[in-house]
Amino acid sequence: VGGGPAGMEAGIVAARRGHDVYLIEEENKLGGQMLLAARPPGKSDIQKLTDYLTIRARKLGVKIELGKTVTPGVIDEMKPD
What's the domain range around 28?
5-78
Cβ contacts of 63 within 8 Å, gap of 6 or more: 20, 21, 22, 23
Report helix, strand or coil for 76. helix
Mean per-residue pLDDT, 7-23: 96
Q: Radius of gyration over alpha carbons of the chain, in Å?
A: 13
The answer to whether the pTM exceeds 0.85 is: yes
Look at residue 80 in the predicted model and tell me its pLDDT: 84
pLDDT digits (tens, 9 = 90+) for 32-55: 999 999 999 999 999 999 999 999
Mean per-residue pLDDT, 57-66: 97
Cβ atoms of 47 and 38 within 8 Å: the answer is yes
Cβ atoms of 8 and 57 within 8 Å: the answer is yes
Strands (E), 1-81: 22-25, 63-66
CATH of the domain at 56: 3.40.50.720
Structural domains in the chain (count): 1
Q: What integer best gives the mean pLDDT of the chain?
A: 94
